[in-house]
Chains A and B, each alone.
Chain A
Amino acid sequence: EIVMTQSPATLSVSPGERATLSCRASQSVSSNLAWYQQKPGQAPRLLIYSASTRATGIPARFSGSGSGTEFTLTITSLQSEDFAVYYCQQYNNWPPITFGQGTRLEI
């Protein structure tokens, strides 16, 4: 099973600033990595797939990078609606499909 580790667990930033979230895989997942945003009481929302491709309707301030075992989600010019929990997910080697434990982005 591929273990996904996200850091930091909590990231405190201010609106308008830039946030950088990290995700590490225990073995290579190539570029088969997705990022999701989840707000309280809501289902996850797909932001990024194939490590760097924005999903339909996702603003350009969200960007993903990386391959192999190291990945980054960057959110520039943070908006109030961006404060949420973010999860990475690998789909290169499954089952099982595995998620990171999440990074909480807070003000």
Chain B
Amino acid sequence: QVQLVESGGGVVQPGRSLRLSCAASGFNFSDYAMHWVRQAPGKGLEWVALISHDGSTEYYADSVKGRFTISRDNSKNTTYLQMNGLRSEDTAVHYCARVRDSSYWYLPHFDLWGQGTLVTVSS
């Protein structure tokens, strides 16, 4: 079954860290660039980060640059989002998403999403 399953969310105090995981199955994970997209409660979608299929390239939204790090382990079919220095504005459901076409990673739109994991930053 082709799917993405996120984990690692929870309640964390401002300034603390959290690592999210996204486990992929049912497709050749190492062929695909992967992204994280988040959604604050009752709000729209915000792109967070990208990692290329081989992990050699990363991009970040300005709102998380310097605080978040995306990575992947192709041997485990998993991508990660290390979140440091968390702020209240990081409270959101965080989704991992797969680009639709592995050959066109530079035209990123997403045909496979996980169910999301909620991160709540609160004292």
A interface residues, Cβ below 8 angstroms from B: 32, 34, 36, 38, 43-46, 49, 55-56, 87, 89, 91, 94-102
- Out of A43, A45, A97, A101, which one reaches B108, CB within 8 Å? A97
CB–CB B47/A55 < 8 A: no
In the bound complex, do residue A91 and residue B107 qualify as a contact, i.e. CB atoms below 8 Å apart? yes
How many angstroms from the CA of A97 to the CA of B95 in the assembled complex? Answer: 15
- A99 contact from B46, B95, B116, Cβ within 8 A: B46
In the complex, 30 of the A-B residue pairs with CB atoms within 8 angstroms, ordered by the A residue number, are: A32-B107, A34-B109, A34-B110, A36-B110, A38-B45, A43-B113, A43-B116, A45-B113, A46-B109, A46-B110, A46-B111, A55-B100, A56-B111, A87-B45, A91-B107, A94-B47, A94-B59, A94-B108, A95-B50, A95-B60, A96-B61, A97-B35, A97-B50, A97-B108, A98-B47, A99-B46, A100-B44, A101-B44, A102-B44, A102-B45
Contact A49 B100 (CB under 8 A): yes
Complex interface: chain A residues within 8 A of B95 (CB): 43-44
Give the distance in Å from the alpha carbon of A89 to the alpha carbon of B109 in the complex.
8
Give, as a whole number of angstroms, the nearest-CB distance from A51 to chain B.
Answer: 11
Whether, in the assembled complex, B74 has its beta carbon less than 8 Å from a beta carbon of chain A, the answer is no
Q: How far does the alpha carbon of A34 sit from the alpha carbon of B59 in the complex, in Å?
A: 20
Cα distance A93–B87 in the bound complex, in angstroms:
28
